[in-house]
């Protein structure tokens, strides 16, 4: 049997052919930490007696969850990473001066390259598979081991081949495709496996769509999500000063998969994930029938805080007003996205409609700050999780959706079909 793209990436890194199920030691191209997880990694690094990073240029710290600091504790926590970055003269350190949500910022900076092996102490590190890389989340002590040694241990995952056919309809996005996949296979349907996205639909999906899909692979239990390099990938990377030379791989025609999942995207409505699981997906038509009143509409996060999300929100909000009973909060993924959206007039439209635009942050998504839900409140959100208490009070409810649905719902006060 041939190899999958994931098997080929690992094979190239360790210098021999590997197959799913093998446990291997592999060098890592990029290790990613953030303001919540990195202090634990730094403590483990220093307690080990290590004096220097094995690969300083392959280590990034992005302060993105509680930055600018929301309280004394978060300020002191951020200081640990700042001091470490200064001590080790870390090149890839990002805070308020060049801030962004880590999984939006690092691809934008050219620090994620096709063919890479990437780990991060954040479960949504699988986002970067959209660029044809192997990328996965690990724990903070795993991160410390990689900081010290330059590598880590992996079990090469088996792969599920997701074959997508048809051209998506208007306002059906990568977010809807991944929510539909999770609905079909469940939150553990891809446990420790690769979700490899293929098929004719891929050529119709922007990089923003692909990032959303790979981002939420973890919500099906996947080890990683991945999309093979193509012209759309090349266009995205064309203006970037890449940290490394791309290593491009494609799955063999006779590669072995544990499952093949086929989905006709042409007939897929926007999908709404009802509380309290990302797998609790329903058509937006059902949500409209259910007359679900919302208190807050949130557009942002590492799943849907990109320029395309702000663009579609502005298109829907132009000339409209946010419902008097709704708070619309928009969080761009990076400062660059914010600047581009401002230049294109999207920010004025959102603010004129009654929305508020924040700095780039993960804060609202994890119920940290900048959009916490109170008791019994309901949110329509472009984030990636809707577990009990995810965005605030344990009695609040979060419905996951794409940015068009979130914008339309902000206007009407109920979950609304943007079409």
Per-residue model confidence as pLDDT tens digits over 172-221: 999 999 999 999 999 999 999 999 999 999 999 999 999 999 999 999 99
pLDDT grade for 240, boundaries at 50, 70 and 90: very high
Residue with tokens 């590669």: 255
The first and second tokens of residue 405, run together, are 């649905």
Rounded CA-CA distance 7/255 in Å is 10
Helix or strand holding residue 44 (H, E): helix 38-47
CA torsion angle 404 407 410 414 (round to 10) = 0
Rounded CA-CA distance 356/335 in Å is 16
Q: Could you tell me if 131 and 50 are in contact, meaning their C-beta atoms sit under 8 angstroms apart? A: no
The first and second tokens of residue 58, run together, are 């392959």
The first and second tokens of residue 287, run together, are 């949500």
Rounded CA-CA distance 296/380 in Å is 6
Residues 59-73: tens digit of each pLDDT? 999 999 999 999 999
pLDDT, position 241: 94
Q: What average pLDDT is seen over the chain?
A: 97
Please give the span between the terminal C-alpha atoms of the chain, in angstroms, as a whole number: 45
pLDDT, position 1: 85
Residues 293-316: tens digit of each pLDDT? 999 999 999 999 999 999 999 999
Q: What percent of the chain has pLDDT over 70?
A: 100
Rounded CA-CA distance 166/217 in Å is 21
Residues 94-151: tens digit of each pLDDT? 999 899 999 999 999 999 999 999 999 999 999 999 999 999 999 999 999 999 999 9
Rounded CA-CA distance 128/106 in Å is 9
Q: What is the pTM of this model?
A: 0.95
CA torsion angle 237 239 245 250 (round to 10) = 20
Q: Could you tell me if 31 and 60 are in contact, meaning their C-beta atoms sit under 8 angstroms apart? A: yes
157: left (phi over 0), alpha (psi -120 to 50) or beta: beta
pLDDT grade for 405, boundaries at 50, 70 and 90: very high
Q: What percent of the chain has pLDDT over 90?
A: 99
pLDDT, position 8: 98
Q: Could you tell me if 333 and 304 are in contact, meaning their C-beta atoms sit under 8 angstroms apart? A: no
Q: What are phi and psi of 61, to 5 degrees?
A: -120, 125
Rounded CA-CA distance 33/21 in Å is 27
Residues 343-387: tens digit of each pLDDT? 999 999 999 999 999 999 999 999 999 999 999 999 999 999 999
pLDDT, position 86: 96
pLDDT, position 208: 97
Residues 245-298: tens digit of each pLDDT? 999 999 999 999 999 999 999 999 999 999 999 999 999 999 999 999 999 999
């Amino acid at each position: 049997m041939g190899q999958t793209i994931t098997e080929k990436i690992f094979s190239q890194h360790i210098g021999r052919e590997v197959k799913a199920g093998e446990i291997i030691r592999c060098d890592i191209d990029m290790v990613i930490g953030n303001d919540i997880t990195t202090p634990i990694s730094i403590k483990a690094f220093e307690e080990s007696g290590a004096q220097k990073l094995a690969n300083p240029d392959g280590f990034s710290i992005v302060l993105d969850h509680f930055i600018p600091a929301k309280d004394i504790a978060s300020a002191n926590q951020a200081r640990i990473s700042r001091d470490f970055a200064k001590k080790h003269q870390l090149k890839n350190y990002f805070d308020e001066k060049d801030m962004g949500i880590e999984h939006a910022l690092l691809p934008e900076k050219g620090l994620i390259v096709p063919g890479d092996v990437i780990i991060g102490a954040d479960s949504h590190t699988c986002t970067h598979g959209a660029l044809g890389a192997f990328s996965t989340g690990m724990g903070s002590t795993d991160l410390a081991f990689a900081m010290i040694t330059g590598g880590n241990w992996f079990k090469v995952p088996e792969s599920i081949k997701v074959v997508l056919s048809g051209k998506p309809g208007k306002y059906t996005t990568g977010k809807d495709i991944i929510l539909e996949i999770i609905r079909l296979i469940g939150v553990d349907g891809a446990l420790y496996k690769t979700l490899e996205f293929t098929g004719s639909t891929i050529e119709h999906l922007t990089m923003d769509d692909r990032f959303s899909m790979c981002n939420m692979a973890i919500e099906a239990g996947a080890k990683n999500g991945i999309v093979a390099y193509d012209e759309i990938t090349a266009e995205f990377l064309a203006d970037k000063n890449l940290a490394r030379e791309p290593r491009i791989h494609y799955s063999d025609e006779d590669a072995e998969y544990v499952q093949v999942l086929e989905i006709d995207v042409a007939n897929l409505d926007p999908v709404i994930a009802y509380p309290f699981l990302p797998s609790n997906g329903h058509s937006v038509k059902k949500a409209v029938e259910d007359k679900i009143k919302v208190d807050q509409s949130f557009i942002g996060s590492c799943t849907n805080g990109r320029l395309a999300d702000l663009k579609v929100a502005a298109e829907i909000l132009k000339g409209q007003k946010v419902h008097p009973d709704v708070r619309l909060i928009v969080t761009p993924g990076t400062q660059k996205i914010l600047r581009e959206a401002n230049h294109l007039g999207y920010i004025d439209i959102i603010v004129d409609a009654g929305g508020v635009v924040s700095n780039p942050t993960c804060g609202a998504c994890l119920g940290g700050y900048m959009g916490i839900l109170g008791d019994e409140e309901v949110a329509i959100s472009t984030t990636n999780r809707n577990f009990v208490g995810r965005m605030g009070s344990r009695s609040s409810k979060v419905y996951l959706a794409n940015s068009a649905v979130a914008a339309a719902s902000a206007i009407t006060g109920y979950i609304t079909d943007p079409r």
